[in-house]
Structure 1
Amino acid sequence: MRVAVVAESFLPQVNGVANSVRHLVDQLVARGHEALIIAPGPGETTYGSIPVVRVRSFPFPIYRDLPLGLPDASVRRAITEFAPDVVHLASPIVVGMSGLRAAERLGIPTVAIYQTDIVGFGHQYGLVGIDRTVWAWTRRLYSRAGRTLAPSSAAAAQLSAIRVPRVHLWQRGVDLRQFRPSRRSPALRASLAPNGEVLVGYVGRVAMEKRVHLLRHLADLPGTRLVIVGDGPELEEVRRLAPSSVSLGMLHGAELAAAVASLDVFVHTGAHETFCQAAQEALASGVPVVAPGAGGLLDLVTPGETGFLFDPAESAVGVAELRAGVQTLAENPVLRRAMGQAARMSVLERGWERIIDQLVNVHYRAVMRPAASRDTVAA
């Protein structure tokens, strides 16, 4: 099978969309399929054996280091020349719409992946009044795709609420070999917790939309140390708010896996996650999760079994529940171990191999069938 992946972001950017595309094409090639990536530049024009077509872009005003793709005739040329069996639209916005239009003109079936809550993102930056426009664009784009895949029940409900048809649930996979409890590093723990502190960690982009300012409420919990893994525009502010915290910066591969597995409690603060891959990687590493009861985290965390959920509102109640969840785990090593074991068990059926097989054998095959035989009801 030949798959053209049109993505709103790809390497060298490090974010949920880019990482998901990387895992997708790795798995496709490993199964003998052919892939093409089309993404905003600048960047490398190959990824391993896979060609990467770079389209025009400009720096996103909020993130100057994040290129925002522009409509580009090269999208249609690349798809025409590659002649794919299916076009995979990864979190489509602008470049994705170009890919969708090109596929329509060429009669190529499409699958669209809903991954970014743009409205929620905008609200964190004070962009009021954008809801109607953004949801109208979202409905227009995804309604034209052969099938839309949502990563969580909450994301599927969002799309159904704005009347997007043919919505199906397709969760993201996790690398179960990389993220596992055995990656826990006594040496790293000794350096981070020289006095035996409980390590409470945040992993991800350190940015306003993740509400990382809430981490300050954990900085004074007795017997704990706050660890931040990642980078972003709010890192210095978090350091100011939580001066006793330690920052490990952006990590990858084995270093990232060791850092996650070496935590005692994983904390996420963002309330607009359509999935939250960082939380799933923590679960795979055997680390209980404390996170907002919203979005994709509702599917990932089972309260009282694999972690705790707190009120997602930025209120006294939400802050109190965040602190209580972390403190309960920090004070009870037996509970932490039990939840950590349950956390690992909860994701054992979500390896990337199984997830990509489902994508190819169920979702791609469905849109590639003759139009008269395609289902139109969400499953």
Structure 2
Amino acid sequence: MRVAIFTESFLPAINGVTHSVMRVLEYLRDEGHQAMVIAPASGGREPSEYAGFPVIPVAAVGLPGYQDVRVSGTTQLRLERLLEDFHPDVLHLAAPIALGHRAALAANWLGIPVVAIYQTDVPSYAARYGFAGAETLLWWRVRQIHTQATMTLAPSTHSRAQLLEHNIPRVGLWGRGVDSVRFDPAKRDEDWRRRVAPHGERIIGCVGRLAPEKQIGDLQALADLPDTKLVIVGDGPLRADLEAFLPTAHFTGQLTGTALPRVMASMDVFVHPGELETFGQSIQEAMASGLPVVAPAKGGPIDLVNSSRTGWLYAPGDLATMRRHVRDLLGDDRKRAAFSVEARLSVKDRTWGRLCDDLMGHYREAIAEVTTSRQRLSA
């Protein structure tokens, strides 16, 4: 199969969209398919290829104050020419909003099936960034984009319901895989724990972009828990503000490679305060690392966290309950150990290979739908 992937984010930016696209490309390579990636340019920092497939940058500008978010202004005509040269069987749109919209229009013009992967709740992000008035307009934009797709795949049941509520048609489900070999409790590093928590404190961990939508500031509700150390992994535009707001926390910056799974396995409890997660990949990675998870009962975490078995869900905004759940887990070694075992078991079989097998099925379904429509029109 020949797959053209249009993504709103790619290397060198590290985030959930980039991560998913990388895993899909590796799968396509391993299974003998052909692919190309079209992504916003990053000032020459983007790779020329990934997994043996070409990466084609298109003109883009960074958002003011957040240059890692690149918005492409390339034309539909340019995208049509790229597609005509590659002859894809299907288009994969990763978190489409700007580039993805024009790619969908180009694909429709050329009669190419489109599978749109919904991944980022952009309308709700706008409110977090102080543009609440733009939420209605952005939902109109999301509906405009996804109506152009042969099918849309939501990452969680909550996201699917949200899309259907906004009158977006043909919405299916496609989750995300997790590498339970890379993320493994066996990678716990006692030397690292002694450096970060020299008095034997329990470590409360969080991994995520340090930006408004992740609500990292909510962790202040945990900052004074006795005999604990708060560890925050990630980087972003709010880092300096958060370091001042949470002066006793340990900030590692962004971690990749072997460092991230080692640090995650060395935590005791994982807390994910963001309420706008369409999925929650870091939650899966924490669970694979054997960590019980405390997260709000909204969005992706609802599908991932089994309350009283693999962690706890709390009502959005109820930080007192979040604190109570964390204190409960840290104060009961036996319970925490039981939750740890169940957390890992719950995600161990969610491999990227299995999830990408499912994705190929969705590709074939989209291709069949477009082929059938053509046959009806020509009859």
Q: Which TM-score band (shorter chain)?
A: over 0.9
1:370 CA drift (Å): 4.7
| Aligned: 1:27 with 2:27 | yes
2:333 is aligned to 333
| Aligned: 1:310 with 2:309 | no
Trace 1:269-348 onto structure 2 (pairs within 5 A): 269-313=273-317, 318-348=318-348
Does the CA-based 8 Å contact 1:180-1:285 persist in structure 2? yes
Secondary structure of the structure 2 residue equivalent to 1:248: strand
1:71 CA drift (Å): 3.3
Secondary structure of the structure 1 residue equivalent to 2:10: coil
2:18 is aligned to 18
Change (3 A) 1:34 1:371: closer
Name the amino acid aligned to 2:79: V
Give percent identity, aligned residues only.
43
Name the amino acid aligned to 1:190: R
What is the TM-score with the length of structure 1 in the denominator? Answer: 0.95
Trace 1:6-155 onto structure 2 (pairs within 5 A): 6-42=6-42, 43-72=46-75, 73-155=77-159
Root-mean-square deviation (CA), in Å? 1.3
| Aligned: 1:193 with 2:192 | no
Counterpart Cα distance in 1 of 2:247 and 2:192: 20
Does the CA-based 8 Å contact 2:95-2:119 persist in structure 1? yes
Counterpart Cα distance in 1 of 2:348 and 2:47: 34
Counterpart Cα distance in 2 of 1:84 and 1:297: 35
Name the amino acid aligned to 1:232: G
1:64 CA drift (Å): 2.6
2:209 is aligned to 205
1:372 CA drift (Å): 7.1
Does the CA-based 8 Å contact 2:65-2:237 persist in structure 1? no
2:376 is aligned to none
Counterpart Cα distance in 1 of 2:292 and 2:171: 30
Does the CA-based 8 Å contact 1:55-1:75 persist in structure 2? no
The size of the alignment, in residue pairs, is 369
Deviations 1:25-59 (A, max 9, x none): 01111111111000001222222411011111111
Secondary structure of the structure 1 residue equivalent to 2:140: helix
Counterpart Cα distance in 1 of 2:143 and 2:369: 24
Does the CA-based 8 Å contact 2:204-2:230 persist in structure 1? yes
Does the CA-based 8 Å contact 2:113-2:370 persist in structure 1? no
Deviations 1:50-89 (A, max 9, x none): 1011111111125133211123343222221111111000
Does the CA-based 8 Å contact 1:53-1:78 persist in structure 2? no
1:258 is aligned to 262
1:20 CA drift (Å): 0.9
Does the CA-based 8 Å contact 1:76-1:98 persist in structure 2? no
2:377 is aligned to none
Counterpart Cα distance in 1 of 2:128 and 2:171: 26
2:168 is aligned to 164
Which stretches in structure 2 are left out of the alignment for 5+ residues? 374-379
Change (3 A) 1:159 1:63: same
What is the TM-score with the length of structure 2 in the denominator? Answer: 0.95
Which stretches in structure 1 are left out of the alignment for 5+ residues? 375-379
| Aligned: 1:174 with 2:173 | no
Does the CA-based 8 Å contact 1:89-1:111 persist in structure 2? yes
Counterpart Cα distance in 2 of 1:192 and 1:199: 9
1:377 is aligned to none
Secondary structure of the structure 1 residue equivalent to 2:67: coil
Counterpart Cα distance in 1 of 2:114 and 2:306: 34
Secondary structure of the structure 2 residue equivalent to 1:363: helix
Secondary structure of the structure 1 residue equivalent to 2:262: helix
Deviations 1:234-273 (A, max 9, x none): 1122221221111111111211011111110011111001
Secondary structure of the structure 2 residue equivalent to 1:80: helix
